[in-house]
């Protein structure tokens, strides 16, 4: 693994406790916050945000194992190293921030962060896949 990939992996591993904190926060709201329980949209968006954060962070770590095996240029490898983790930030942020107030019954414009995150994810995984397919054995 290259030093660049190892550095990104180290940062991502350090961020895992933030997802754990999010899970603890959700549990506390489920048990003790009637306003949270009364808002189905907010429950679903926060659950989706938490799930996307965890899954995409793990995908980011796995992708780092492959990026250095591609035939991509150093610049494109950097793009891949950043696009997939960026999705792990943008998509959950869109879910969380679009219904931040307990009274929100429709998502705010911040929901579009999920689309930006999805685009970032698509760019990263497609580039990684193409780079792996084009790599010399």
Region 47-71: mean pLDDT is 94
Two tokens at 24?
Answer: 């603890």
Two tokens at 20?
Answer: 């754990």
pLDDT score recorded for residue 35: 78
pLDDT score recorded for residue 30: 82
Mean pLDDT of the chain: 92
> Which one has a higher pLDDT value, 30 or 132?
132
The answer on pLDDT for 25 being more than 90 is no
With beta carbons less than 8 A apart as the criterion, state whether 49 and 92 touch: yes
Region 21-47: mean pLDDT is 85
With beta carbons less than 8 A apart as the criterion, state whether 56 and 84 touch: yes
Residue 102: phi and psi, rounded to 5, are -60, -25
The answer on pLDDT for 92 being more than 90 is yes
- pLDDT band for 97, please (50, 70, 90 cuts): very high
HEC readout, the chain = CCHHHHHHHHHHHHHHHHHHHHHHHHHHHHHHCHHHHCCHHHHHHHHHHHHHHHHHHHHHHHHHHHHCCCCCCHHHHHHHHHHHHHHHHHHHHHHHHCCCCCCCCCCCHHHHHHHHHHHHHHHHHHHHHHHHHHCCC
């Amino acid at each position: 693994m290259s030093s660049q990939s190892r550095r990104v992996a180290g940062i991502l591993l350090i961020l895992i406790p933030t997802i754990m904190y999010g899970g603890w926060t959700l549990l506390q709201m489920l048990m003790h916050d009637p306003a949270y329980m009364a808002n189905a949209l907010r429950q679903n968006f926060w659950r989706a945000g938490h799930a996307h954060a965890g899954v995409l962070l793990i995908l980011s770590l796995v992708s780092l194992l492959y990026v250095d095996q591609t035939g991509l240029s150093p610049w494109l490898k950097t793009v891949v190293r950043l696009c997939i983790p960026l999705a792990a930030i943008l998509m959950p942020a869109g879910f969380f921030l679009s219904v931040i107030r307990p009274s929100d019954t429709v998502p705010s414009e911040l929901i579009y962060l999920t689309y930006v995150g999805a685009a970032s994810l698509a760019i990263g995984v497609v580039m990684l896949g193409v780079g792996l397919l084009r790599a010399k054995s």
